[in-house]
Chain A
Amino acid sequence: MSLRVLVGVKRVIDYNVKIAVRGDKSWVETANVKHSVNPFDEIAIEAAVQAKEAKLVGEVIAVSCGPPKAQESLRTALAMGADRAIHVEIPDGTEKTLEPLAVAKLFKKIAQDEKVDLVILGKQAIDDDANQTGQMLAGLLNWPQGTFASKIDLNAGDKSLVVTREIDGGLETIKTALPAVVTADLRLNTPRFATLPNIMKAKKKPIKKFTPTDLGVDVSPRLEILKVEEPPKRQGGGRVANVDELISKLKNEAKVI
């Protein structure tokens, strides 16, 4: 029996865009801003597609929870080699209050419905940097987890998995049984490009659409965003003419000596 892999795809503001805070401090500016697939999710997709190409995996399903435009990100995932996609659609503008716990619940339902053997997610999204969804999903499913993976060895025969994890100051290697949740770190692989011909071909691949209500998941936020602010601007440095001036500045202005 061949394995089935679920990958998570989040549509985020492109990594190259300079982020601007909205005037009313409610959120960051998202209108007319280039969006793309979260880079860590691209790595997760690549890992799943490579496993499929190595005939370790039978089917790769891409899932995105987000506004209607998240479909573009799913098309990218399909162009990279995912077989089909599932879009959990939420109304435009509510994505900022879609919390990791809600996403983990949606993924749990889909993982169970689709009877998947492995879930690969990016370790975190570059917009909210929460780094929670994978861990929460593993907890909710009661599956083992291999987070911050820099290497994945999948054994389809005895349904086991060896994950090399990036931890502080070194690497940790763990072995676990499937089903499991893995989150991808930066060095797991180099994602391929969604080329133009593949994007065209991907248009024929199916995308199933659900709403959170269809899946029986309550996605109402548990946190309230009070305000979003830019970090303080860095003050420019100055030159001092001599040691005496330096000492007096350290004493009177910086007050460190």
Chain B
Amino acid sequence: MTVPAPLRSRAIRLYKELLFLGRDYPHPQGFPWFRARLKRAFQGKASLTDPVEIEKALAHADYVKREIEALYSLRKYRTMQRRYGSAWDDTLPAALKELHRDP
């Protein structure tokens, strides 16, 4: 049984977006490490045929995407806060707190 086309294209789109995000992933082995892991994660789900299961996997990929974006935002904010921030107030801005919260 083949996977319905809209799901397939959504999976490919998510994969590409995650690859793009991974270019800046903070890991000693850098992008190749990220790409290998990402590929494995997607390949592991390649045999799924049940649309409900696929939706679940896509939702997970979307969640990972948002987590990586949150990680980058926090990293950048914390570095900038350390270099330029005010000493009297180092509480996290509301938008970042929102990002950091578990779904």
Binding site for B on A (CB under 8 A): 15-16, 39, 124, 126, 166, 169-170, 186-187, 189-191, 193, 195-197
A126 to B79, CA, bound (A): 12
A170 to B95, CA, bound (A): 21
A186 to B84, CA, bound (A): 8
> CB-CB < 8 A to A189: which residues of B?
93, 95
9 A-B pairs with CB atoms under 8 Å apart are A124-B84, A126-B84, A169-B88, A186-B77, A186-B80, A187-B85, A189-B95, A195-B20, A196-B17
Task: Decide if B72 touches A193 in the complex (CB within 8 Å).
Answer: yes
A119 to B33, CA, bound (A): 42
A193 to B88, CA, bound (A): 28
> CB-CB < 8 A to B20: which residues of A?
195-196
Output the residue of A166, A189, A190, A195 with the most chain B CB within 10 A. A190
Task: Decide if A193 touches B79 in the complex (CB within 8 Å).
Answer: no
Task: Decide if B93 touches A193 in the complex (CB within 8 Å).
Answer: no
Q: Tell me the smallest distance from the CB of B10 to a CB of chain A, in Å.
A: 12
A169 to B89, CA, bound (A): 9
Q: Tell me the smallest distance from the CB of B32 to a CB of chain A, in Å.
A: 17
Task: Decide if A197 touches B86 in the complex (CB within 8 Å).
Answer: no
A15 to B84, CA, bound (A): 12
* Interface residues on chain B, size class: 20 to 34
Having A15-B80, A186-B85, A189-B93, one finds 10 other A-B pairs with CB under 8 Å, namely A16-B24, A16-B79, A126-B80, A126-B83, A170-B88, A187-B93, A190-B77, A193-B69, A193-B72, A195-B17
> CB-CB < 8 A to A186: which residues of B?
77, 80-81, 84-85
> CB-CB < 8 A to A191: which residues of B?
73
> CB-CB < 8 A to A126: which residues of B?
80, 83-84
Q: Tell me the smallest distance from the CB of A133 to a CB of chain B, in Å.
A: 16
Partner of B17, one of A15, A39, A187, A197: A197
Q: Which residue of B lies closest to A188 (CB)?
A: B93
Top 7 A-B residue pairs of the complex, sorted by shortest distance between their CB atoms: A190-B95, A196-B20, A196-B17, A193-B69, A187-B93, A190-B96, A186-B80
Q: Which residue of A lies closest to B18 (CB)?
A: A196
Q: Tell me the smallest distance from the CB of B100 to a CB of chain A, in Å.
A: 11
